[in-house]
């Protein structure tokens, strides 16, 4: 992997982008970093130190010109990822579903809070199990219950249910997206955000169907997957069990409904400006100039997609340096773009000067 320094004015189209929206998203992260910067507790390859981010974060809170702020406070580096030279950019969104705070025949499928016995393993336990999370049984590290076991009642009677939905498929896609909006019978809604996962490996059920020849790989999308599941209800349940990983949620209060759920970076996600990245490589808050394309199903003319995204989330499938997952918000258009997006492209990261200098990147 190589970072090539480039000039800010060489980023074609960046000054014409809505950098005010990018600055708005960055400011939320800047405040989180000033207040503590939880992500700095982990080792991040190009993350730098929290103290090196602080001057830039403080400057962001008072900046009046977005273009001037990003041009002067950061140094751009084009990402060359030898393992994925073409880059990969996908999308995700916040699903909406009808639900109830009480279990009824109409709403039989529960979404759960994090169980108390789900723990982070020690380094020794991780070596023994190959897992980062799980449970301890009689003092020994043990994998947590998988999706099938939980759906069969492994957590029943513990009072962990937040709400109930109509179908297993609706719950599954909220798991995959990591957040959701649940509309209750009285017209109110619950906002759910990711809390934890079992730690068992994630399996793409779309890839499983492609391997079985059920859906052609070039036709694979969230929409085609949902259509297959609707057409094959008796097989869909077993298909979902192929993904042994299971996600737990927490209910959050969101005063501004124009903002998304809280991402892994502990701030509200900004539709069209927040992006999930591989958090082992990039620090939350890193601005990323991404040049890619909308999927054909988005019916955008031209289809060029170039904008300054802010790293504010992560995901099990988001691995690599030139890898990003755009957060598109909620609603039909967000679902359409996110469900079909799988675009090649390139990414230029903007690092604060002190961070670049600390990493030995500044010329």
Mean pLDDT of the chain: 94
Rounded to the nearest 5°, which phi and psi values hold at 23? -65, -40
pLDDT digits 0-9 by tens, 77-104: 999 998 888 999 999 999 999 999 999 9
pLDDT digits 0-9 by tens, 160-199: 999 999 999 999 999 999 899 999 999 888 999 999 999 9
3-state secondary structure of 106: coil
For the chain, percent of residues with pLDDT exceeding 70: 99
**Nearest to residue 99, comparing CAs of 147, 162, 152?**
162
Region at 351 (left for phi over 0; alpha for psi -120 to 50; beta for the rest): beta
3-state secondary structure of 116: coil
Torsion of CA 245, 249, 255, 260, to 10 degrees: 0
**pLDDT bucket at 256, cuts 50 / 70 / 90:** confident
Distances from the Cα of 155 to the Cα of 148, 312, 354, angstroms: 11, 31, 48
- Average pLDDT in the 128-140 region? 95
- Average pLDDT in the 238-242 region? 96
Residue-level pLDDT at 251: 92
Contact residues for 262 (Cβ-Cβ < 8 A; gap 6+): 193, 252, 268, 269
Report d(CA 293, CA 234) in Å as an integer: 36
pTM: 0.86
Torsion of CA 194, 20, 6, 80, to 10 degrees: 20
Question: Strand 74-80 to strand 2-5: parallel, antiparallel, or no bridges (unpaired)?
Answer: antiparallel
| 331-337 CB contacts, 8 Å cutoff, 24+ apart | 331/93, 331/96, 334/93, 334/94, 334/271, 335/93, 335/95, 335/222, 336/223, 336/297, 336/298, 337/91, 337/93, 337/294, 337/295, 337/297, 337/298
pLDDT for residue 363 is more than 70: no
Task: Copy the structure tokens of residue 69.
Answer: 């702020």
pLDDT digits 0-9 by tens, 283-298: 999 999 999 999 999 8
Residue-level pLDDT at 13: 86
Ranges of CATH 2.40.40.10 domains, the chain: 2-91+260-358
Report DSSP letters for 312-330, one per residue. EE--TT--SSSEEEEE--S
pLDDT digits 0-9 by tens, 144-165: 999 999 999 999 999 999 999 9
Distance of CA 209 to the CA centre of its chain: 23
Residue 262 DSSP code: B
Contact residues for 11 (Cβ-Cβ < 8 A; gap 6+): 76, 289, 348
3-state secondary structure of 360: coil
- Average pLDDT in the 109-121 region? 97
In the chain, the DSSP E strands lie at: 2-5, 74-80, 88-92, 96-100, 109-112, 119-120, 133-137, 140-142, 161-165, 179-183, 189-197, 247-252, 274-276, 287-293, 304-313, 323-327, 342-343, 346-352
Ranges of CATH 2.40.240.50 domains, the chain: 110-202+243-252
Question: Is residue 288 within 8 Å of 37, Cβ to Cβ?
Answer: no
CATH number of the 2-91+260-358 domain: 2.40.40.10
CATH number of the 110-202+243-252 domain: 2.40.240.50
Question: Is residue 91 within 8 Å of 108, Cβ to Cβ?
Answer: no
- Average pLDDT in the 114-118 region? 97
pLDDT for residue 14 is more than 90: no
Distance of CA 276 to the CA centre of its chain: 4
Strand order in the sheet with 119-120: 119-120, 133-137, 140-142
């Amino acid at each position: 992997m190589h970072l090539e320094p480039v000039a800010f004015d060489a980023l074609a189209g960046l000054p014409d982008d809505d950098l005010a929206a990018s600055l708005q998203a960055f400011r939320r992260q800047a405040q989180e970093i000033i207040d503590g910067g939880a992500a700095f507790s982990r080792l991040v390859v190009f993350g730098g130190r929290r103290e090196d981010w602080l001057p830039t974060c403080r400057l962001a809170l008072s900046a009046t010109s977005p273009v001037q702020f990003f041009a002067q406070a950061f140094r751009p580096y084009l990402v060359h990822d030898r393992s994925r030279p073409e880059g990969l950019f996908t999308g995700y969104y916040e699903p909406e579903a009808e639900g109830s705070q009480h279990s009824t025949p109409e709403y039989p499928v529960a979404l759960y809070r994090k169980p108390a016995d789900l723990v982070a393993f020690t380094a020794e336990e991780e070596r023994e199990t190959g897992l980062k999370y799980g449970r301890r049984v009689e003092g020994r590290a043990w994998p947590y219950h998988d999706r099938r076991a939980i759906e069969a009642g492994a957590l029943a009677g513990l009072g962990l249910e937040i709400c109930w939905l109509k179908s297993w498929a609706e719950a599954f896609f909220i798991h995959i997206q990591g957040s959701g909006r649940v509309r209750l019978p009285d017209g109110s809604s619950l906002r759910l955000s990711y809390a934890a996962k079992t730690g068992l490996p994630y399996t793409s059920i779309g890839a499983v169907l492609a391997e079985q020849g059920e859906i052609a790989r070039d036709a694979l999308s969230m929409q085609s997957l949902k259509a297959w599941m609707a057409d094959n209800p008796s097989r869909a349940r077993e298909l979902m069990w192929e993904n042994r990983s299971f996600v737990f949620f927490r209910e959050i209060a969101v005063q501004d409904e124009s903002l998304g759920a809280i991402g892994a970076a502990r701030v509200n996600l900004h539709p069209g400006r927040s992006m999930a990245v591989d958090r082992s490589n990039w620090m939350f808050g890193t601005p990323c100039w991404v040049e890619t394309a909308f999927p054909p199903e988005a019916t955008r003319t031209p289809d060029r997609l170039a904008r300054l995204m802010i790293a504010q989330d992560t995901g099990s499938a988001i691995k690599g340096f030139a890898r990003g997952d755009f957060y598109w918000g909620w609603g039909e258009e967000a679902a359409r773009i996110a469900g079909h997006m799988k675009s090649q492209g390139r990414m230029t990261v903007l690092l604060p000067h002190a961070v670049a200098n600390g990493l030995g990147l500044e010329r």
